[in-house]
Structure 1
């Protein structure tokens, strides 16, 4: 696929008494990277702003950042799903690179490289990707959130080629938005946190940099899909950039229901056991064994599907019926710990993680990603077992 030959969109604005040049780029276009080089080599700018947050900037500079990850800490802190989602997005973007011979984000890398060459400050103006993902999730219903996440997971085993239409959208828009658009059915739910809020955030960051650092001539390299939004926000004026940045960085208040529901289910299960034993010890033990067999079997099946060690599969069977009665400890946490103990990842596993996860088979080959899958699949199996066993217990009580 050939790059578009049209001139990359450029807008020149003023922030206070400083000049700002906004270069709208295509994240998958060599033409954009060439334009970045041409502008920076003109030596007209005293600072280069890029559409990156600190974590993505560090990932570009430190290719071994994943090698420094403490996997058990990630799982204990509840960030395993976020890591899986990030790896899945990376796999999707790598599919683009392999299919079309392109390098997503090449223009941002070029901007950083040339800024360092000319000893110019690099301004990171985008919001942290973790904050954006959390605010995006809070903007979706629980069903669309589940559809989004499962879509990302299904993409791991997808061998379908990315359609040309998706590439054209990337040339017009934003990498994050387009990545999610492949899996989400309603883009309206995604527009505010993925595009509009980030337009405002980047406009505020540019204003803040001018006010605090006094840059006189800034080149900002941003996706073409953000160009009009950032321009509009700046033309409207941002009087208190720090306050706006703080508001856009605020994480949504977590709902109480996800914390209450598991305890409510546990209470119902114990009530069901109590009623069963009250009616007859035989019925009570039938209910207990139904709980153990269904919950344990489904969690063990999830661990086996992830390619877990046989002892980890047995651990899942034993742990799931117990952890399901204690919402503070998930089955996945126990199975992941067992898998880490039985098959400790090597330094090479961490170093190869980003490369291995670009193909679905690599998720099962690499010990780091496989442990994440063990955590995820055994958790899902236990969750399914909890509801199925709960309904079966209720059915037996109703029929006795």
Structure 2
């Protein structure tokens, strides 16, 4: 059985306004039994409180805090360039789930585990990431209309996997596995509650969509395992 019968993935670009609109429209039109988002508990609570990590906060958490702070600033800069704060598409999914009164599931790997893996990356990849990350903070010169980042994602992901093989593994492939497992658990738990043909919509980053779909398509039926979740 393919779990793609039950799960529809929306691949989003975290800094694209089109993603936010697609997420809200699709969920309200499809009216699923559950909504899943690429967040963990820590990031969900931070998003709900609208609290942003300061440099002072990052310093208290040491190396992992500084890595998290730098990544957040990179996304913030991109959001300014494309007219959208990072996470707006996730907020749209949360609002849509609440509007429909369906459960909201948090399916991503724990951010502390992710940061630990990033901190353990090879020195070459750390240095390269630091150097390339600095360019994000420089003004972007534009002679015309900015390209839609969603149309460029395949090239971006291929280049990222080539330049950062370790980081690609931990940031993309391993998280795909975690999210696919959680989605399978959601489907099985809905079936155990008596939903004969569960419909789940999952909102994930565009780079995760093909990998998760591949895993869901190849997966065999498993016994239900409860993921942590928030009721809408």
1:95 paired with 2:77, answer yes
SS of equivalent residue, structure 2 residue 184: helix
The TM-score with structure 1 as length reference comes to 0.46
- Offset of residue 206 of structure 1: 0.3
SS of equivalent residue, structure 1 residue 42: helix
Rounded to whole Å, the distance in 1 between the matches of 2:151 and 2:50 is 24
Rounded to whole Å, the distance in 2 between the matches of 1:46 and 1:239 is 19
For structure 1, the residue ranges without an aligned partner over 5 or more in a row are 1-12, 246-400
CA spacing shift, 1:15–1:109, aligned 2, 3 Å = same
- Is the radius of gyration larger for structure 1 or structure 2? 1
- Offset of residue 38 of structure 1: 1.4
* Superposition CA RMSD, Å: 3.8
Matches within 5 A, 1:16-31: 19-31=6-18
1:168 paired with 2:149, answer yes
The TM-score with structure 2 as length reference comes to 0.75
Rounded to whole Å, the distance in 1 between the matches of 2:176 and 2:53 is 29
Offset from partner CA, 1:226-282 (integer Å, 9 cap, x none): 111111111111555889x9xxxxxxxxxxxxxxxxxxxxxxxxxxxxxxxxxxxxx
SS of equivalent residue, structure 1 residue 23: strand
Aligned to 2:102: 120
SS of equivalent residue, structure 2 residue 84: coil
| Structure ranking higher on relative contact order (CA contacts 8 Å, 6+ apart) | 2
SS of equivalent residue, structure 1 residue 131: helix
Aligned to 1:255: none
| Higher helix fraction (1 or 2) | 1
- Offset of residue 137 of structure 1: 3.6
Q: Are the equivalent residues in 1 in contact too, given 2:37–2:90 (CA < 8 A)? A: yes
Offset from partner CA, 1:32-71 (integer Å, 9 cap, x none): 211111122225311111111111111111124759xx96
Aligned to 1:144: 124
Aligned to 2:36: 49
Offset from partner CA, 1:163-209 (integer Å, 9 cap, x none): 88997379627x9x89xx6xx99222222111111111111000111
For structure 2, the residue ranges without an aligned partner over 5 or more in a row are 228-232
CA spacing shift, 1:62–1:234, aligned 2, 3 Å = same
1:202 paired with 2:142, answer no
Q: Are the equivalent residues in 2 in contact too, given 1:29–1:171 (CA < 8 A)? A: no
Rounded to whole Å, the distance in 2 between the matches of 1:14 and 1:206 is 12
Rounded to whole Å, the distance in 1 between the matches of 2:131 and 2:220 is 37
- Offset of residue 106 of structure 1: 1.8
Q: Are the equivalent residues in 1 in contact too, given 2:15–2:82 (CA < 8 A)? A: no
